[in-house]
Structure 1
Amino acid sequence: MSSDRASPETVMARYAELINRHDFSLLVPLIDPDATFWFSSGTHAGVAAARAAFEATWRKLADETYWLEDLNWTAIGDKAASCTYTFRWRATVDGQPAQGSGRGTTVLGRDQDGWRIRHEHLSAFPKIT
């Protein structure tokens, strides 16, 4: 088992670290081949679709910094785990500083080689009316 995939907590920490290198190939070992990502840009099923979504974002936000806060492990079992968190980002958009945040959920699964991300759902915080 890869030390990067030894536990769900390790996978999420490594994912949060590597995502800021803007090189999707570094993330591939942490992502299940059949993973599904739900972003505001749509549903992205499989590694190729996820790569396209990540790389499109990185093209728009070339200097983006992304991080996770307040991870809450809602379940950790022998074969599956899930967590919720706040995600935050900072970048330059159209020459102006920009930042944002939202809420995320990640589901991980374990196979013979360790833990991998099987599903991620990022969304905006609900609007208070």
Structure 2
Amino acid sequence: MPYQQALENYIAATNSHDFNNVKEILHPQAVYWFTDKTCTSLEEIGAYFYNAWNLIKKEVYSAIDVQWLTADEKSATCIYTYHYEGYHNGKFVSGSGRATNIFTVLNNEWKLIHEHLSS
């Protein structure tokens, strides 16, 4: 399914540690709800990503137990457990939490319009 590929592309872009790659998958009006902050512009989202990549070096992000709650030709919503691992101050760290992603079609491409992460 194309929306499943969009999620896979999003995770690969996240793991590139280059927000330009992530931005290609984001809807221009994307809204992110992180545990500690709401980001409502691509600039805010990018700053949050770069801060996270700076805090956790060599971070690897993954999604497990993905469940697609809704999907049609224009939108798709999934929930999953996210997992991250990397190095904080030279020490290996890892963690996980819950995620919700909503994808929508814009100009015949699947774009992420909302992500909600909670620890």
Matched, 1:112 2:119: no
40, 51, 69: which one pairs with 1:45? 40
Alignment match, 1:127: none
Amino acid at match of 1:58: W
Looking at secondary structure, tell me which structure has more strand per residue.
Answer: 2
64, 85, 91: which one pairs with 2:86? 91
The normalised TM-score by structure 1 is 0.87
Alignment match, 2:19: 24
2-structure distance, mates of 1:89, 1:31:
20
Q: Percent identity?
A: 29
Structure possessing the higher radius of gyration over alpha carbons: 1
CA RMSD of aligned residues (A): 1.2
Task: Return structure 1 stretches of 4+ with deviation > 3 angstroms.
Answer: none
How many aligned positions are there?
A: 119
**Which residues of structure 2 form unaligned runs of 5+?**
none
2-structure distance, mates of 1:11, 1:78:
13
Which deviations, in whole Å up to 9, do the C-alpha atoms of 1:79-120 show, x marking residues without a partner?
Answer: 111000010011111222110000100011112231100000
The normalised TM-score by structure 2 is 0.94
**Which residues of structure 1 form unaligned runs of 5+?**
1-5, 125-129
1-structure distance, mates of 2:38, 2:53:
17
